Amino acid sequence: MDPRPVGVFDSGVGGLTVLHECLVTMPHEDFVYLGDHARLPYGPRPREEIRRFAREIGGYLEAQDVKLVLVACNAATSAALPQLQEELEVAVVGVITPEAHAAVQATRNRRIGLLATQATVEAGRYAELVRTLDAGAELVPVACPRLVPLIESDDPFAAETTGAVREYAAPLKEAGVDTVILGCTHYPLIRPIFQRVFGRGVTLVFSAEETAREVAETLARKRLENDESREGAYRFLTTGDPGAFRSLGERFLQLPLGDVEHVAVADLVTA
C-alpha cells in the first residue's frame, strides 16, 4: 500500500469536477489539489506559456511527495502532457486520452464532435488521438470561448448559457455527429443543458468520469493503491485568493472544501 496523496492541478476550479469523480471512485485515497487562479484562464494563452505553467506545477507537486500527478485541465494536458511524463519521476495522467478512447468506443457512425476551449482545439491533440485509435473516424472541433465565464457566473443555468450551448452545438448537429466530447472540466457542471440540447441520440463523453477511471486503473496497475479500509482526505492550494477559490470551488466539487492554502507563483517557478 502507498499512502502518498495523488496530486491534481488545473488553472482554476474546473478540475474539481474531475476531483469529485476521483473521490467517489477512490474514496480511500488522499488528494492534494492546486488551482492556479493567479494565472487563469489558460485557454487563450500561447501553448508554450501553458506548457511552462504546467511544468512548474508538476515539479511543485512532485516536491510535495505525491505518487501520481493528474493534469485536470484540458489546455494543460494538450500543451504539456508528454513533457510532464518525460520529466517527472511519478506517473502523469491527463484528461484527453481517456475521453478520446471513450468517444471512439461509443460512436456508431464514426463522427465525433468536440466542444472545448480555444487552446485545446488549436493544440489538435484530440484529433491526433482519435486518428490513432480509428483512422477512419472524423473529429469535428468547435471552440467555445463564452462557456467558461458563463459557467463561473452567479447563474450558470441562465438562458444565456443555454443559448451559447445551442450556438456551439449547431455545427456538430449539422455534421451529424453521434458522440460529443465535452473537452473542458467546467462542462460537467451544466450537464443537464448539454443533455437537453443534444438529446438522447447523442452520446456525451465527460472528462471527469473517464479520467477518474484512468487514474484508478493506473494506481492499480502500478501497485500504488492506498489501504481500501480507510477514508481518504483532501487538501486544497491556490495561487489566487483562498476565499474566492473556496466560494466558487464548493459549487464545482459539491463538497465542503475547508481550509484553502495560498501558494505563491514564485514558489511554483522555484520548484
Residues annotated catalytic, as ranges: 73, 184
Q: Which helix (H) or strand (E) holds 111?
A: strand 111-116
Task: Provide φ and ψ at 52, rounded to 5°.
Answer: -65, -45
Alpha helix segments (H runs only) across 10-87: 16-25, 47-63, 74-87
Grid coordinates of 50: 501553458
Find, among 164, 166, 156, 123, the residue nearest to 141 by Cα: 123
β partners of residue 205:
181
Determine the Cα angle at 145 with ends 32 and 124, to 5°: 75
| Residue 139: C-alpha distances to residues 6, 11, 160, 183 (Å) | 32, 26, 27, 13
Grid coordinates of 221: 496497475
- What is the Cα Rg of the chain in Å? 18
Q: Using an 8 Å Cβ cutoff, are 111 and 78 in contact? A: no
